[in-house]
A and B are shown apart, each in its own frame.
Chain A
């Protein structure tokens, strides 16, 4: 029965279905079991935060979901397709076409304009040059950087750089955006701006968004929170009334602790 229900799930639009994912790193002789069996489903259009202490396996999970890495065991269905069966080129194609990745450290190419940074994924997706220009401009407009297209990363603030990175993640029309601590290197104001954009993409464009954050206030802007600890999911909860980014003040630290606890 379980099998048929998971099939039914994916037919009902489970964009991500992972089961018993494990990932162990070898550091010399030491085995680091970063993921010890992670299972969950995610419906299309979800907005989810992965929380957990440092070293709990959040980035490892995001890398597996982003097809940047392969699990040691377990299965991963992406829009019903078994990713474990794909070869290198097919995985590259998935990264190119279906997933947008946003990194904590932005990872923009230095000495390269915002526009050219945004065009990079389309280069590998075989988009013709005119369309590349047009789509990069549109994506930059969406993140509010219409007037910064020809600026290089070192001429942009951290928040602006992260917005360029989000625009870059958008240009190939992905089904999913994976953001690993996208606000980790930003001040809280820029952080909320980034969340506002991600929230907007989720609410208005229907893109599934997974983000990793330590910040409970940011997590409360999403619909669902998965908590990881020592490579396992220890909690999976709905957020009762998600905040709308920019409309509510950050409560003092104490209030937050109370509320989340």
Chain B
């Protein structure tokens, strides 16, 4: 008897006991549905985080003073020599750092900001003119600083959307409005679009001023080497795959400038966007795998359910098996019939589970509007393949038992 005919016999047997078949499949349905939903959700969260990081610029490297060990949180004085304008401009050397395409400088601090009526304690960033381009900050109105502002140390500011809400509540147009940072008066020349989401929304609550103005008027701080201090250098690598090389070149230049001897640790930190993404991805990956493992356990339980029902079914149909053997069925015909029954249960259950997973994915998309979950094809393949294996594995024992029945004993079975 061919496999097709075995399959027909198996399908007929399953169809003749629909409720039981459905209940047996339920375990697999839930297991596969859970695997698909959780993995799709996990991927959606991962995509979301990736997007968030992408939205702050591309091929970026972050250079900050100090190391993770020595930095004691924002505001604490970094150990070592810090970073200066000179350090930043040294990175533009086309021979020592050929893979550095552009840099932006930032000096951060905070102060009381007011526009006469309203007052707030806000983050202030002094940034170089190309900051907007590198960090992918978009203007909702007005313009960003240019070289002229930088050279002239102009008292102009670009403010984030949350700052607009705080200082200009009545939908007053903030452009050309006056604000005071500490004692210094500034004119607002632009407002930023919201970053949205949550991961970088604090960018929305910042007052940006030209770096030169910040260094001379707002936070006039000079380092030990007589040069202005900065908080971060953003470096754009020539391309995504040159980011590693760029990081090495930056490290070499800064170690030389900071006179760090071989064997001594850096007094600065270079992190690439890719590294941040990767470590976030690692955490998420662990969570996704963990959820997947829980779902896989339910799949396993479903498999045991199939085996249970198949064993019951073999016992119940002992006389039928004896009859089939008496009529000429070989061992393998009987074994195939029961194996196919169990695989069909598992695969049909798996397919319904995938549909359920698809629905689950859609529901997550509706509930969490920031996420954009798509059906994880990988999860679908994994879950259906795994459920077929589950059916095969848990079907082998009952099927072998059925095939081994002696026809006489089987026919006499009451």
Q: A residues bordering B, Cβ < 8 Å?
A: 63, 66, 68-69, 88-89, 92-93, 95-97, 101, 103, 107, 109, 111, 120-121, 123-126, 168, 172
Contacts and interface: CB of A to CB of B under 8 A. Distances in A.
Contact of B1 (A68, A101, A123, A172): A123
A68 B5 contact: no
A44 to B, nearest CB: 21
Interface of B: 1-2, 5, 9, 16, 319-320, 323-331, 333, 406-408, 411
Tell me if B's interface is mostly helix, strand, loop or mixed: helix
A109 B329 CA distance: 15
Given A68-B407, A88-B331, A109-B323, 17 more contacts: A68-B411, A89-B331, A92-B325, A92-B329, A92-B330, A93-B328, A93-B330, A96-B328, A103-B411, A107-B323, A107-B326, A111-B16, A120-B324, A123-B9, A124-B1, A124-B324, A125-B328
Contacts of B408: 63, 68-69
9 contacts: A63-B408, A107-B323, A109-B323, A123-B5, A124-B1, A124-B329, A124-B333, A126-B1, A168-B327
A111 B317 CA distance: 13
Contacts of B5: 123
B326 A68 contact: yes
B330 A124 contact: yes
Contacts of B406: 69
Contacts of B407: 68-69
Contact of B411 (A95, A107, A126): A107
Contact of A88 (B1, B2, B330): B330
B279 to A, nearest CB: 61
Given A63-B408, A124-B333, A126-B1, A95 B327 contact: yes
Contact of A109 (B2, B320, B326): B320
A101 B330 contact: no
Contacts of A120: 324, 327
B6 to A, nearest CB: 9
Contacts of B1: 123-124, 126
Contacts of A63: 408
B403 to A, nearest CB: 10
A96 B327 contact: yes
Contacts of B2: 126
A248 B408 CA distance: 36
Nearest to B6: A123
Nearest to A107: B323
Contacts of B320: 109
A123 B12 CA distance: 14
Nearest to B406: A69
Contacts of A92: 325, 328-331
B117 to A, nearest CB: 86
A101 B329 CA distance: 14
A92 B5 CA distance: 17
B123 to A, nearest CB: 77
Q: Which of B9, B16, B326, B329 has the most CB of A within 10 A?
A: B326
Q: Which of B319, B325, B328, B407 has the most CB of A within 10 A?
A: B328
Of A89, A96, A168, most buried by chain B (CB within 10 Å of CB) is: A96
A184 B331 CA distance: 30
Contacts of A89: 330-331
A168 B323 CA distance: 12
